[in-house]
């Protein structure tokens, strides 16, 4: 047990968590921010961001670093920690990591989401050997090679465009004809000479050749016909699931596992707030995550002030 009692512990150092930290530190709170990875969250998996106000174009890495430096300039304490759960002891909340227990008056959960898997044969076995969930991390291994991207949302189309900068050919595999992605991304992939489409199609199998990915088998959902697409890389962008399983016995979740919050971003437990993609909400963006971070911190600050003055 760490004997220090923090005012506020923030779980997750993505844009939501880092913004909460900035607001809380500026209000004079003693803040600990925990993350099980590098600060930045999903921004680190994004090549370029074009819709964060004030930045016409910025890489995910650069925006992550700018936000993190901002927290550090205000004295936010940052530690590695894979949080396993929270215990509510009334005035004190216990935040448990694999090897420590931290204490705080209030907690903000900003654990975001994790990329969904397709759950088809070959996916687990070939993960890291051609199958990937991060074009920014692994794309460079496939320079001048053929790759596929699976999904029809903004992530799939934008990361396909990134891969097309240096791969020989990029085939987007999507389970229907219409894309969910913004029109601007659709227009860009449609006119890109290196991007092809396999529509109304799902991946049924990832196939191994020489101990790495050699092809994917796709099935046309209208005709049932199957065929193999030769490729050395496959990038899966079929959405995200919330990272909340470790809170499910304490915190109320919606049917998909996202945290239910009110407009103050309070959860069902007093003194525990949630912010960003982990919340049950409509629009999951960097901008909305930072805005949640500010609101959650502002309400946590009031709650902590109240606790301290009673």
Q: Give yes or no for a contact between 32 and 77, defined as CB atoms under 8 angstroms apart.
A: yes
Q: Which of residues 60-89 bind ligand NAP (CB under 6 A)?
A: none
Check the CA dihedral 132-134-140-144 and report its sign.
Answer: positive
What residue number has its CB nearest to ligand NAP? 153
Does 158 bind ligand NAP (CB under 6 A)? Our answer is yes
146 forms beta bridges with 169
Q: Looking at beta carbons only, is 209 or 287 nearer to ligand FAD?
A: 287
**Partner interacting with residue 12 (select from ligand FAD, ligand NAP, none; CB below 5-8 Å by kind):** ligand FAD
Interface with ligand NAP by CB under 6 A: which range of 58-66, 129-137, 139-147, 172-180?
A: 172-180
Are 292 and 279 in contact by the 8 Å Cβ rule? The answer is: yes
Instruction: Determine if 143 is a binding residue for ligand NAP (CB under 6 A).
Output: no
Q: Which does 36 bind (CB under 5 to 8 A by kind): ligand FAD, ligand NAP, none?
A: ligand FAD
Residue 110 binds which entry of ligand NAP, ligand FAD, none, CB below 5-8 Å type-dependent: ligand FAD
What b/e string do you get for 204-239 counting C-beta neighbours within 10 Å, with b at 16 or more? ebbbeeeeebbbbbbbeeeeeeeeebebbbbbbbbe
Our separate counts of H helices and E strands in the chain read 6, 19
Pick what 13 binds: ligand NAP, ligand FAD, none; C-beta below 5 to 8 Å, kind-dependent.
Answer: ligand FAD
Interaction partner, residue 189 (ligand NAP, ligand FAD, none; CB < 5-8 Å by kind): none
Burial of 131 (0-12, 13-18, 19+ CB in 10 A): buried
Question: Concatenated DSSP letters for 230-283?
Answer: E-SEEEE-S-EEES-GGGTTTS-B-TTSPBP--TT-B-SSTTEEE-GGGBS-S-
* C-alpha dihedral sign at 68, 128, 142, 51: negative
Q: At what angle do helices 15-26 and 286-309 cross, to 10 degrees?
A: 40
Among 63, 104, 156, 253, binds ligand NAP (CB under 6 A): 156
Angstrom distance (rounded) from CA 170 to CA 184:
18
| Closer residue to ligand FAD in complex, CB, 80/141 | 80
Q: Is 155 in the site for ligand NAP (CB under 6 A)?
A: yes
Residues in the site for ligand FAD, rule: CB under 6 A? 11-17, 34-37, 41-43, 45-46, 49, 51, 81-83, 110-113, 155, 159, 243, 276-278, 284-287, 289
Nearest approach in angstroms of CB 301 to ligand NAP is 28
Count of C-beta atoms within a 10 Å radius of residue 200: 16
Chosen from ligand NAP, ligand FAD, none, partner binding at 15 (C-beta under 5 to 8 Å by type)? ligand FAD
Query: In angstroms, what is the minimal distance from the CB of 255 to ligand NAP?
Result: 16
Residue 61 · residue 45 · CB < 8 Å: no
- Report the nearest approach of ligand NAP to the CB of residue 73 (Å): 27
248 belongs to the binding site for ligand NAP (CB under 6 A): no
Among ligand NAP, ligand FAD, none, what does residue 198 contact (CB within 5–8 Å per kind)?
Answer: none
Which of 121, 284, 298, 305 is close enough to bind ligand NAP by CB under 6 A? Answer: 284
CA 109 – CA 106 distance, rounded (Å): 10
Point out which residues bind ligand NAP (CB under 6 A).
51, 118, 151-156, 158, 175-176, 180, 202, 237-240, 284-285
């Amino acid at each position: 047990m760490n004997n220090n009692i923090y005012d506020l512990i923030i779980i997750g150092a993505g844009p939501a968590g880092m913004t909460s930290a900035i607001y809380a530190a500026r209000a004079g709170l003693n803040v600990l921010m925990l993350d099980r990875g590098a600060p930045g969250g999903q921004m680190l998996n994004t090549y370029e961001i074009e819709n964060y106000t004030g930045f016409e174009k910025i890489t995910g890495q650069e925006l992550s670093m700018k936000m993190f430096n901002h927290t550090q300039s205000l004295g936010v304490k940052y530690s590695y920690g894979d949080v396993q759960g929270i215990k509510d002891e009334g005035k004190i909340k216990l935040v448990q990591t694999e090897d420590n227990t931290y204490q705080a008056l209030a907690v903000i959960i900003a654990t975001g989401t994790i990329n969904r898997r397709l759950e088809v044969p070959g996916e687990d076995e070939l993960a890291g050997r051609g199958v990937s969930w991060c074009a920014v991390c692994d794309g460079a291994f496939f320079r001048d090679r053929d790759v596929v991207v699976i999904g029809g949302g903004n992530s799939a189309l934008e990361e396909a465009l990134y891969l097309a900068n240096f791969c020989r050919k990029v085939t987007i595999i999507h389970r229907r004809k219409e894309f969910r992605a913004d029109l601007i991304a659709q227009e860009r992939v449609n006119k890109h000479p290196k991007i092809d489409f396999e529509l109304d199609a799902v991946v049924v199998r990832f196939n191994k050749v020489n101990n790495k990915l050699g092809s994917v088998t796709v099935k046309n959902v209208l005709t049932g016909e199957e065929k193999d697409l030769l490729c050395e890389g496959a990038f899966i962008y079929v959405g995200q699931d919330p990272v909340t399983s470790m809170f499910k016995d304490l915190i109320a979740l919606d049917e998909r596992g996202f945290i239910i919050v009110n407009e103050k971003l309070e959860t069902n437990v007093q003194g525990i707030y949630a912010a960003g993609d982990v919340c049950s909400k409509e629009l999951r963006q960097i901008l909305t995550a930072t805005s949640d971070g500010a609101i959650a911190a502002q309400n946590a600050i009031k709650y902590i002030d109240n606790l301290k003055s009673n």
